[in-house]
Structure 1
Amino acid sequence: MTTLPTPAATGPHDEPTAPASTRFIALYAFGQLGLWAALLTPISVTLSVKVGAIAPDTKATSLGLVLSVGAFLSMAITPIWGNLSDRTTSRFGRRRPWLAGGAVSGAAGLLIMALAQDVPTILIGWCVTQVGYNAAQAALNAINPDHIPERQRGRVSGILGLMSNVGILAGTFITTSVSSSTFLMFLLPGVLAFIALGLLIAFLPDRPADRSTLGPFRPLDLLRSLWVNPFAHRDFGWAFAGRFLIFTGNAFKLTFGFYVITDRLGYSPVEAVSLVFTATLVFTGGSLLTATIGGWLSDRLERRKIFVLVASLVMGVGLLTLGFTTTYPQYLLGSLILGMGTGVYMAVDMALVVRVLPNPDNAAKDLAVFQIANSLPQSLAPLIAPLFLTIGGGDQNYPAAFTAALVFAVLGALTVIPIRKVR
């Protein structure tokens, strides 16, 4: 097996120092792209289409149930996968087995949803998908502190942050191309993830965990995987709170953006699939415009906090624009503003988070705990959104819901101020 030259620590406590190669970064980014295409496309498009076709009278409630249960499962299982990855002593390394297993089981979940004929089966398939792809995500997250030196993390995090946007773009492009087949709309993003993760697995310079540094494994350790003391590690706690609040606001758009186009703007579901792709293209263009520049400038100035704060506020403006839109061009403007803020945020916030990790030896576990801040909002947003959607009667008060999303974004911006370890 050929591996790419990339920095590797000589011991479990060592930070990587040599710069990561361009080829390594490209394969790392492609792996992230494939995973996000498979995991986020169902949230943004295909689950809305499938649930709307199977349960048109209860589509919002049914979709909220499926996404909430899946996200809660993701929240609980991802730190466990991260802990087990940190402790994996396989000769194939401690990240490769979880990347491979996650790719296979995630694709199996997509297949279940593609064949589903009722909401309970969709729910089962989504849970399998979440369990699989979050195992791979736990390993992917840990590659950053494993192999990327501090002086490159802003730029590399900017590229990686873009991959969630490009992944959704790739996924929605695929669904638009095969919109006549719900089966292929689910399955083809999984094929992309399988190829992307397979290439990364083939060339990843991985190594097993050092047995001499591992204590005895106890079942209770799995429960401890879910917890990092925010009082003992205050900077990590504030970073977690900020990501949670920002992603709660963003989850309103991810979950209900499709229905804004159909319910508020009056387009049919078939038309909305294409319109979501166009909006995602605009969003990604905005992210591309700001992410690379923001990451580079953050590295150059050796500043993280101000970039995260301003980007969070810009995201809030974009969310508010989406909620009050009355025409599709306004929806595209909101997508552009949200994308520009998201580009800088994803570029710099991950570099900030890696810097405040409690324990470099448990990078996969700690980053998987941090992943809860990404996944929990996917559960909460569908549950709390109806509180705002029903203001004034009915269930389509999207301006009220997206105003709440703005509030979450502003609160998330403020949480960066108390962080001390990072400037």
Structure 2
Amino acid sequence: MTLSSGPGAGAGFSSPKLPSPWTLSAFWFGTAFLWLVLLLILMPAEVVRFVGDADKGKYLGLLGGIGAVVALILPPIIGSYSDRIGKRLPLIRLGLIVNLAGLAVMGYAAAATEGLTGFWIYVFGFLLVQFGNNYATAPYSALVPELVPVAQRGRYSGVMGMLQAGGQLLGGVAALVIGLLKLPDVLSYGIIGVVLLISAMITLRGVPETQIKPNPEAHRQRMSIAQLFAYQPFLWVFITRALFALGQYSVQPFLQFYAGDVLHQKNPGTATSLLLMSIITASIVTALIGGRVSDQIGRKPVIYVAGSVMAVMAIALLFAPNFYVAVAIAMVFGLGFGAFSSVDWALGSDAMPSSRSYARDMGIWHVAFVGPQLIETPQGALLDWGNAQGGNLGYTIVFGIAAACFVLGVLLVRNVPETVKTHSAEAATKA
């Protein structure tokens, strides 16, 4: 069993030429665009149209929860398969095709169906999107720890965070334009498909297939899942990432409802787009810087500052007296979020214990981000219940939960062994 977080440590592996961080991370740009427009703009509006205003939280939570089950189960399975056959890019291509098909189904349901029947067709399309995207990103997630030397992972993670923020920013702009011009629903899903396809092709054409020999016995040579979680760097990185994701998904799916119910915006979709663009624009400022800084001083100090800012701003949003103050608060939150996202992937890559199972282990690590999406279902019901009591109590509860998760994540990231930081520093010195 090989314990190494540097590429090339596994048997039968040789690293091809290192692609640029922009090429390597291009597909994340399209994926970020996809999820922002779907989760925060299109899906909340479509759910209201399908089921009405009274049950919007419950059905939006149900939709997100169903999709999260796929995202929870699939990446480790496909990652393990990718490790075994020694291929990454063919699986990314196949997942992309399924993803695009799912977008077509969702567009059809939004444009041509109504009521609960339409809702369930929409759910089916969303499941295809989740299946295809996770099928593609499971092997894709292995490329950073597999190809990028430890000393450069902060820079690559920073570029990834910057491109993800850029994809989200483009998504916010697209949503704003779609809302202002009142474009047909089906066109929105077509735009998502085009952006996703172009970004995927940049990565697929610019990243060489990793030279991994097929290894049918890989499952016997790698750590078991129990051993993986017994490895302290991985365990604590998994836990802290899950906490940050819990904070994010306590609020993110309901941001459009917050804009209408708390900020009293007449066009909640447009207001949500502006809030998101404020967060994302600010996050771009700190994304690239945070990754580079983490290569010098370690990952954890960046997380401490970023998480603390996110927690404070999550609470501050509850007390925003008007939309303009909320935008300012969102921008400060974005500074913290950008710094966190710039370090997130580097921290996870550093914690991978074995080069024999990068795709499987990154898939399991990714569960820490996807699994918390399941909180959307109970959070949606909690939001509806709290608001029914009066005084927007539901928003106070879910925003408070978000802040608590960010604080706990900051406190527990201290448990990530310093060997992760030391390992990165030593590698940087040697480089």
Aligned residue runs from structure 1 range 91-170, under 5 A: 94-116=87-109, 117=113, 118-170=118-170
CA distance in 1, matches of 2:225, 2:128: 23
Q: Is the 8 A contact 1:34 1:192 kept in 2?
A: yes
1:194 aligns with 2:197: yes
1:310–1:402 Cα change, 3 Å: same
Q: Is the 8 A contact 1:157 1:348 kept in 2?
A: yes
CA distance in 1, matches of 2:236, 2:219: 30
Q: Is the 8 A contact 1:79 1:225 kept in 2?
A: no
Deviation per CA, 1:300-331: give whole Å up to 9, x if none.
23x11121122111111222222333311122
The equivalent residue for 1:326 is: 321
1:419 aligns with 2:416: yes
Deviation per CA, 1:381-400: give whole Å up to 9, x if none.
33135436634743742122
1:17–1:111 Cα change, 3 Å: closer
After superposition, the CA RMSD in angstroms is: 2.6
CA distance in 2, matches of 1:88, 1:383: 39
Task: Say which is worse superposed, 315-324 or 133-142, in terms of deviation.
Answer: 315-324
What code does the residue aligned with 1:346 have?
A: S
Q: Residue 178 of structure 1 aligns to a residue in which SS?
A: helix
1:194–1:373 Cα change, 3 Å: same
The equivalent residue for 1:340 is: 335
Q: Is the 8 A contact 2:14 2:212 kept in 1?
A: no
CA distance in 2, matches of 1:15, 1:158: 25
TM-score (norm 2): 0.86
Question: In the TM superposition, what is the alpha-carbon distance from 1:10 to its structure 2 partner?
Answer: 8.5
1:120–1:392 Cα change, 3 Å: closer
Question: In the TM superposition, what is the alpha-carbon distance from 1:176 to its structure 2 partner?
Answer: 2.6
The equivalent residue for 1:4 is: none
The equivalent residue for 1:3 is: none
The equivalent residue for 1:62 is: 59
The equivalent residue for 1:296 is: 292
Aligned residue runs from structure 1 range 161-310, under 5 A: 161-179=161-179, 180=182, 181-207=184-210, 209-211=212-214, 213-215=215-217, 227=225, 229=227, 231-268=229-266, 271-301=267-297, 303-310=298-305
Q: Is the 8 A contact 1:282 1:332 kept in 2?
A: yes
Question: In the TM superposition, what is the alpha-carbon distance from 1:247 to its structure 2 partner?
Answer: 0.8
Question: In the TM superposition, what is the alpha-carbon distance from 1:410 to its structure 2 partner?
Answer: 0.6
1:403–1:187 Cα change, 3 Å: same
CA distance in 2, matches of 1:346, 1:108: 29
TM-score (norm 1): 0.88
Q: Is the 8 A contact 1:234 1:419 kept in 2?
A: yes
Question: In the TM superposition, what is the alpha-carbon distance from 1:227 to its structure 2 partner?
Answer: 4.0
Number of residue-to-residue matches in the alignment: 402
Select the structure that is richer in helix: 2
Q: Residue 24 of structure 2 aligns to a residue in which SS?
A: helix
Deviation per CA, 1:45-83: give whole Å up to 9, x if none.
110111111212321111110001101111011111111
The equivalent residue for 2:424 is: none
The equivalent residue for 1:52 is: 48
Question: In the TM superposition, what is the alpha-carbon distance from 1:177 to its structure 2 partner?
Answer: 2.4
CA distance in 2, matches of 1:72, 1:399: 27
1:163–1:319 Cα change, 3 Å: farther
Deviation per CA, 1:116-142: give whole Å up to 9, x if none.
122111111111100101112112211
What code does the residue aligned with 2:107 have?
A: A
Q: Mind listing any 5+ residue stretches in structure 1 that lack a counterpart? A: 1-6
1:135–1:296 Cα change, 3 Å: same
Q: Is the 8 A contact 1:264 1:326 kept in 2?
A: no
Question: In the TM superposition, what is the alpha-carbon distance from 1:171 to its structure 2 partner?
Answer: 1.9
What code does the residue aligned with 2:169 have?
A: L
Q: Which has the higher contact order (CA 8 A, sep 6+)?
A: 2
Task: Say which is worse superposed, 349-358 or 199-208, in terms of deviation.
Answer: 199-208
Task: Say which is worse superposed, 229-238 or 181-190, in terms of deviation.
Answer: 229-238
Deviation per CA, 1:177-233: give whole Å up to 9, x if none.
23321112222112111111112112211135313x441779xx9xx9994546521
Q: Residue 414 of structure 2 aligns to a residue in which SS?
A: coil
Q: Is the 8 A contact 1:111 1:125 kept in 2?
A: yes
1:158–1:254 Cα change, 3 Å: same
Q: Residue 415 of structure 2 aligns to a residue in which SS?
A: coil
